Chain A
């Protein structure tokens, strides 16, 4: 029936289009777009062309706004709409990359999917209280008691984390004679902090720790409240150790160790909840099961016959959700698995899952690269799910670069032709075959093969194999890794491939990077290596450093900009301070900072005024004093080559490259940004608004801009996320150049275009989760293509 409906619609029997007239938000050039409803629409174009402005800032924002207003929820009013008129819009839901990437370790698969709350209610209503300890009541526990995120439910010892850091006293104070001074010296902290500590305890330094009064011991170890610092804690051993963990990921001396919580045994919830059982298990046990096992457990549950009607309905709802997650290939995860520890693909599927399983129709879904982080072989299934959404009567708009997804679309809107001011126009609208023929569209040219990916100018690998140095991770066993040894050729472009959940991130982010960190940032003391894992690194003597370029957001501070992040902002401010007008007025570099003395006194440098409407409702207006320029008049009175400091913030990277062409130190990093397809971003764009891919490229530019000597190992996590084919081509050239200069690069990647030009590929697999964690192939792309074991080789294209 649904198919009949879409057939009916495709014949144009019902006039059902989203008609947008005069779209002009950001760089859009007053364009008219018609988006067919009830179809799968791909919006394509190079990064910065304006496709997100169209899909998210107009279609999604307007759909959401109109829906909220129609149900009586106030939504913020913008100063102007980004378009002249819009019709045919409906309720809209968006899944955006930069929203789902987050680092809160309290967020887990269970909390994120809502399954934890559902299970909590199930335990609250249907759980059997084993021996009641108080003996006086069989009072039911409210659902909050089953949630590790609630004060009633969390284990008080670990505050619901299931594990906590503990000072290993046996290692810190190995014998009775060791003095407090010696104890302090065992902690691997900076001399400054240590001297502070020594000064605070100067009367006790020569006393053996074991003979100190308990009060002094407690104070030296854990400190006490002080209001004078941000940690609100006096300087103490625990704080030094926490600092080490923050910096290096762990305390290399092994004194401060993450331990499973002894009270809850890693189950995160308090004793109250651990006494309530369903099918003989408490909620903590269920939450640590892989989802496949949990699904099985709840399906065959012997207790279910005694469940109330409500409980039975809830059990079935939980099972529905579970089976959807398992179908989305997340069955290897547990409900307690933390969101930050998920791979990109797992995260994407977790977030999309709810929507894909929804039965609603007439919704407009706007999805940001739904196939990002997926292996080629996994994309089909996701595309099928998206098609199903369309078939039940929804409009699905995907902002995509992926060939498979674009080819599956009913309708393509290509925005471009270039980025920034050179974009913002509709290059092509219509079906896919037309796109392939469209000469003006760079997307079309790459998809049809008329433009091809660049080869490598510099291939290090001999046909006989790599004769140079290797960096080897031995006995890696984090997450699902099966004690593997992985060898990366140095001075080469090495790719790490494999299905999502196969262990790529575990190998690179959880094994290789911590080991590198340890090697380069610690004066590694002999025999004190972390004893939690036997993993070790060989071959580091041939490296002079490393740089991690992840997709994690750059930061949440709205005052942070790409210019400040890549380190050119200080230089630009100095340039302004050296202008005659500035010298005359006697104003220094600080006056050109909008977060310092240069700020507009009205808005404090935000450029907008916040108007409180009561409750949690705010509207933002352009600051009436500075008209959004963020600076005070004094700062704006100084010009460099005719531009004010605010004009510089408004410049795109490309514009800034020519504007600052005389300032070599400024322009070199900007050029890198320009070359990797980031020429369209403004120097003053707040970094929290950058997408994960954009943030990563800004980081890469900064790392390259640092111009470090020697062989630097660059480790990149899925750098093509958010990149159009032409931008991917630019990235490949840049990586190639890094290798030419004698550096090494490791990329975790799914994109066959990038993998095909690697010198070496390590493939993990064969499947995701527990069925993965092995190295199933390693060698040149060509050898992978010929290797029947490889799941990636068949997608590679080798140009000899």
Chain B
């Protein structure tokens, strides 16, 4: 049974989330008790966990002395927010479409006559992580993020790397997502943070994210404990691939917006087409900066961030699952929590 009630929600959590008992939403609370235990026992990196079923919070727990008002650096979960912002900018006509070329937005960037590969990179390729980009040369599994952090000009550095490598090959690139943020700024005149405040966060009741003052670009300022608000690069471009801090409840709002196909209260915040295009299954199991998954016939799309930060949307079950986590190296895979406790807990739709 697929009864996603996207158009007839009985309330909207713009001001306040409402809670409901699991059983009233067709869920078996015994599983959720085990979930709580499992997080405490094996997922000590998780500081906050929220499950929203049918628009109601059925599970909300905080760990390690965290609470609902605490924000978390959600690392690469940021990328899915950038995806939404690009969609909104296209909806509003700031950007022509996903096939528009990246270099259209950087006319001052010099290319050589023979740089066809660089000139033809599109926004779609950046969104789907299939742009040719030289960050992963010879067997390096991860792009050198620390190297990006040390650049005087992150955008130029990334443009320099563009065009090298195999066009169309999936290559996860945080630098590429940053380029999308820069494109957004070039197209709209607002930085991604301002654009998000105005067009994405305000309609959903997510508190406005203030400008943060980057004193320096040390490890702590870019990846660590000093990250506040939404960090920006030395030119003031909001960092596109990481660096957003947000509360678990606001993360849940963002996931809920996607479950509702972009509709929030009376407003179509993001077009339905954009949401569908962003989350349609691909061979790489990656949409427009969203991770896609199909297991046992159940489709889900997720914003995933390093260390165990998750916004997982399961439309068929009308379910949003959020984990806010301390960024740890090699966290335990939180899919086991979703597969073993959360999905089985839904007994009737």
Which residues 128-179 of A sit at the B interface, judged by CB distance below 8 A? 133-137, 139, 141-142, 145, 151-152, 154, 156-157, 159-160, 167, 169
Contact of A152 among B119, B130, B134, B146 (CB under 8 A): B146
Give Cα A284 to B117, complex, Å.
29
Give Cα A136 to B144, complex, Å.
20
Q: Contacts A157-B134, A169-B113, A222-B117 given: A134-B150 contact, CB under 8 Å?
A: yes
Contact of A156 among B132, B137, B152 (CB under 8 A): B137
Give Cα A154 to B283, complex, Å.
31
Residues of B within 8 A of A133 (CB): 152
Give Cα A232 to B165, complex, Å.
11
Give Cα A272 to B164, complex, Å.
20
Interface centre among A106, A154, A160, A272 (most CB of B within 10 A): A154
Which chain B residue has the least Cβ–Cβ distance from A158?
Answer: B137
Main secondary structure of the interface of B (DSSP, over half): loop
A224 near B167: Cβ-Cβ < 8 Å: yes
**In this assembly, does A233 line the interface, its C-beta being within 8 Å of a C-beta of chain B?**
yes
Interface centre among A154, A160, A169, A218 (most CB of B within 10 A): A218
Give Cα A225 to B125, complex, Å.
12
Residues of A within 8 A of B130 (CB): 225
**In this assembly, does B335 line the interface, its C-beta being within 8 Å of a C-beta of chain A?**
no
A224 near B166: Cβ-Cβ < 8 Å: yes
Give Cα A219 to B164, complex, Å.
13
B114 near A151: Cβ-Cβ < 8 Å: no
A272 near B150: Cβ-Cβ < 8 Å: yes
**In this assembly, does A786 line the interface, its C-beta being within 8 Å of a C-beta of chain B?**
no
Q: Contacts A135-B152, A151-B144 given: A218-B116 contact, CB under 8 Å?
A: yes
Which chain A residue has the least Cβ–Cβ distance from B114?
Answer: A169
Q: Contacts A223-B167, A232-B166, A272-B150 given: A154-B137 contact, CB under 8 Å?
A: yes
Number of A-B contacts (CB under 8 A): 86
Which chain B residue has the least Cβ–Cβ distance from A238?
Answer: B117
Q: Contacts A134-B151, A156-B134 given: A221-B117 contact, CB under 8 Å?
A: yes
Chain A min CB distance to B149 (Å): 10
**In this assembly, does A215 line the interface, its C-beta being within 8 Å of a C-beta of chain B?**
yes
Chain B min CB distance to A377 (Å): 41
Which chain A residue has the least Cβ–Cβ distance from B137?
Answer: A159
Chain A min CB distance to B48 (Å): 33
Contact of A218 among B117, B136, B144 (CB under 8 A): B117
A136 near B150: Cβ-Cβ < 8 Å: no
Q: Contacts A137-B216, A272-B150 given: A225-B117 contact, CB under 8 Å?
A: no
Residues of A within 8 A of B15 (CB): none
Residues of A within 8 A of B119 (CB): 214, 218
Chain B min CB distance to A694 (Å): 31
A222 near B137: Cβ-Cβ < 8 Å: no
Which chain B residue has the least Cβ–Cβ distance from A145?
Answer: B147
Which chain A residue has the least Cβ–Cβ distance from B136?
Answer: A151
Contact of B218 among A135, A137, A221 (CB under 8 A): A137
Residues of A within 8 A of B166 (CB): 222-225, 232-233
B234 near A136: Cβ-Cβ < 8 Å: yes
Chain B min CB distance to A107 (Å): 13
Residues of A within 8 A of B25 (CB): none
Chain A min CB distance to B219 (Å): 9
A222 near B167: Cβ-Cβ < 8 Å: yes
**In this assembly, does B26 line the interface, its C-beta being within 8 Å of a C-beta of chain A?**
no
A225 near B167: Cβ-Cβ < 8 Å: yes
Interface centre among A106, A134, A167 (most CB of B within 10 A): A134
**In this assembly, does B120 line the interface, its C-beta being within 8 Å of a C-beta of chain A?**
yes
Chain A min CB distance to B180 (Å): 20
Which residues 138-171 of B sit at the A interface, judged by CB distance below 8 A? 138, 140, 142-144, 146-147, 150-152, 160-161, 164, 166-170
Residues of A within 8 A of B17 (CB): none
Give Cα A156 to B119, complex, Å.
18
Give Cα A233 to B167, complex, Å.
9
Q: Contacts A156-B160, A224-B166, A232-B166 given: A270-B218 contact, CB under 8 Å?
A: no
Which chain B residue has the least Cβ–Cβ distance from A141?
Answer: B150
A159 near B147: Cβ-Cβ < 8 Å: no
A134 near B116: Cβ-Cβ < 8 Å: no
Give Cα A169 to B112, complex, Å.
11
**In this assembly, does B217 line the interface, its C-beta being within 8 Å of a C-beta of chain A?**
yes
A136 near B142: Cβ-Cβ < 8 Å: no
Which chain A residue has the least Cβ–Cβ distance from B99?
Answer: A215
Chain A min CB distance to B54 (Å): 40
**In this assembly, does A281 line the interface, its C-beta being within 8 Å of a C-beta of chain B?**
no
B116 near A214: Cβ-Cβ < 8 Å: yes
- Type the 1/0 row for B296-312, where 1 means its CB is closer than 8 Å to any CB of A: 00000000000000000
**In this assembly, does A403 line the interface, its C-beta being within 8 Å of a C-beta of chain B?**
no
A214 near B169: Cβ-Cβ < 8 Å: no
Residues of B within 8 A of A145 (CB): 147
Which residues 234-286 of B sit at the A interface, judged by CB distance below 8 A? 234, 283
Which residues 185-219 of B sit at the A interface, judged by CB distance below 8 A? 216-218
Give Cα A463 to B11, complex, Å.
109
Residues of B within 8 A of A708 (CB): none
B150 near A139: Cβ-Cβ < 8 Å: yes
- Type the 1/0 row for B81-106, where 1 means its CB is closer than 8 Å to any CB of A: 00000000000000000000000000
B142 near A151: Cβ-Cβ < 8 Å: yes
> What are the 10 closest A-B residue pairs judged by CB atoms, nearest first?
A225-B168, A159-B137, A225-B169, A218-B116, A134-B152, A224-B168, A133-B152, A151-B140, A151-B144, A217-B116
15 contacts between A and B (CB under 8 A): A134-B150, A134-B217, A136-B234, A142-B146, A145-B147, A151-B140, A151-B147, A152-B146, A159-B138, A214-B116, A215-B116, A222-B132, A225-B170, A232-B169, A272-B147
Chain A residues with CB under 8 Å of chain B are 106, 133-137, 139, 141-142, 145, 151-152, 154, 156-157, 159-160, 167, 169, 214-215, 217-219, 221-227, 232-233, 270, 272
Known: A156-B137, A159-B138, A214-B116. 20 other contacts (CB 8 A): A142-B146, A151-B137, A151-B142, A151-B144, A154-B137, A156-B135, A156-B160, A156-B161, A156-B164, A157-B160, A157-B164, A214-B120, A215-B116, A215-B120, A217-B116, A222-B132, A222-B167, A225-B167, A225-B170, A232-B166
